[in-house]
Amino acid sequence: MDQYTEDDHSPATRYRRFRRTTRTENFIRTLIHRPDLAANVKFIKLHAFQNGNRLKSFDSEYLPLDPIMTMLMSDASQRIPPPEPPMMFRVVPVDSKTEDKYSILKWQDKWRSALRRGAPNAEIALLLALLPNVSHLHLSSSDYDLGEYVDDLCEQMLGPLSRKRVNHHGLELKVDSDWRSQSCTPIGILPNLKELRVATQHNWSNLTFEGIKCLITIPTLRRLSCTNLDATLRHTDQRFFHHPLGHIESLQLDECTFTVEALSELIEACTGLKHLDIQFSWSDPINLGGIFWRNLNKRAQTLETLQLQKYDHSGMTLRDRINLTQFAKLSSLAIEQGPAFVIPDSLPTSLEKLLINKCDEQIAPLVDRLEQAVMIKRLPNLRELSVMVEYSRIDDELKLDLLDKFHRLEDSFRDKNVEFRLVPEPVLDGTV
């Protein structure tokens, strides 16, 4: 669902008192009147709903929303109960607890005021609260976070703050952390969320990992896919990933801006990780060092698929030898020729599919070694070997010899019940 476009609002004129309702507002009205339909919504995609540039001029450029619609949304927001006060207010006089409850009610009043103005982000917060059975949520934002009202709604609905232990002058204390635990009470928003896809839209201001932390800790979440997110240390403290994310089984990172340290911390936090797919961004120099592989090795008992790729021709480098023999469940691996050169004898016996990208003429001896590994039952489960050769990097006189060798290897692999395939070289747009 595209959230707000220029055609969705009528500009202020002397001929109209109220602007027309948007498609999203019409959808919200339907959900309010038909909760049975709301319960059947499983998938929702919100495209560019958080546009910081547009929100700044929203109140001044557009007519107000029809009061019947604003009253309907405001009344529906009354379903959102206030949360319990933070732990710190439970050990102090009642006046402080009352003061905290007052601040919560004050936020709800602010939210309803924004709903009466037809503020886009306030409406999205209401929309998420009206959909109890959504399992797949796709969001794209043109700002660094998901917006004030979505963030604050999650603060209201995701349960009490999680607790962490700190040492203060030799005294061990439990204090509130920055995370909602969702472990003490049933969550009140998106209680059945299984897959979350988030992306930066238009690259005006990159969405950050800190900006989505209110959603990635939802305990039912299993698959997280991120595109063009920023997780450099200037935006996200490395300690941000110390919160356990053991519920996440699949992690896909596409052109996200990471330091190797932050990426390593994220992998360490995902203790139940089964599928890891990283497409490194065009501009980042990638040098995967020891901390990355040490934390990845901690996922040796859970990881089933692994893809490490880079879009441009520069590839990635390694500072340490890769050893994947301990990854007992790893069935699919996609990696570049450079890293692959150090692992022909370090692949797990469970491997079924292997894709080697960005190859030149030096891939031939590596494929020979893999063919020998299959013959001696070193890789007994391998059923598919794919090679993507960048012929633009190979001298013309070597291309024919390489193709001839591949044709002979194709027959040899077929005799061993392994499919050997040459993957077409992708066409890269843009310059690096």
Q: What is the pLDDT of residue 261?
A: 82
Please tell me the distance from the alpha carbon of residue 320 to that of residue 339, in angstroms, as a whole number: 10
Please tell me the distance from the alpha carbon of residue 241 to that of residue 231, in angstroms, as a whole number: 10
Tell me the whole-structure pTM to 2 decimals.
0.83
Phi, psi of 112 (to 5 degrees): -65, -35
Average pLDDT over every residue of 8-22:
63
Q: What is the pLDDT of residue 100?
A: 47
Q: What is the pLDDT of residue 91?
A: 43
Q: What is the pLDDT of residue 15?
A: 56
> For 191-206, how does the pLDDT look when each residue is reduced to its tens digit (9 = 90+)?
899 999 999 876 566 7
- For residue 6, is it within any domain? yes
Average pLDDT over every residue of 7-34:
76
- For residue 48, is it within any domain? yes
Tokens at 36, concatenated:
């049975």
Q: What is the pLDDT of residue 174?
A: 67
> For 358-368, how does the pLDDT look when each residue is reduced to its tens digit (9 = 90+)?
888 888 888 99
- For residue 372, is it within any domain? no
- For residue 125, is it within any domain? yes
In this predicted structure, the answer to whether residue 389 has a pLDDT above a threshold of 70 is yes
- For residue 170, is it within any domain? yes
> Judging by beta carbons within 10 Å of its beta carbon (0-12, 13-18, 19+), is residue 270 exposed, middle or buried?
buried
Q: Are strands 43-50 and 136-141 parallel, antiparallel or unpaired?
A: parallel
In this predicted structure, the answer to whether residue 86 has a pLDDT above a threshold of 70 is no
> For 211-265, how does the pLDDT look when each residue is reduced to its tens digit (9 = 90+)?
888 888 888 999 999 998 887 755 445 455 666 788 999 999 998 887 788 888 8
Least confident of 96-110, 334-348, 380-394: 96-110
What is the total count of domains within the chain? 1
Domain that holds residue 11: 1-131+142-181
Residues forming a β-bridge with 198: 139, 226
Closest CA to 360 of 378, 337, 342: 337
- For residue 199, is it within any domain? no
How many other CB atoms are there within 10 angstroms of residue 71's CB atom?
12
Q: Are strands 384-389 and 161-168 parallel, antiparallel or unpaired?
A: unpaired
**pLDDT-above-70 percentage for the chain:** 70
- For residue 426, is it within any domain? no
Laid out side by side, the sheet with 195-200 consists of: 43-50, 136-141, 195-200, 223-227, 250-254, 275-280, 305-310, 332-336, 353-359, 384-389, 419-423
- For residue 68, is it within any domain? yes
User: Could you give the C-alpha distances from 210 to 69, 233, 276, in angstroms and in order?
Assistant: 33, 11, 20
In this predicted structure, the answer to whether residue 161 has a pLDDT above a threshold of 80 is no
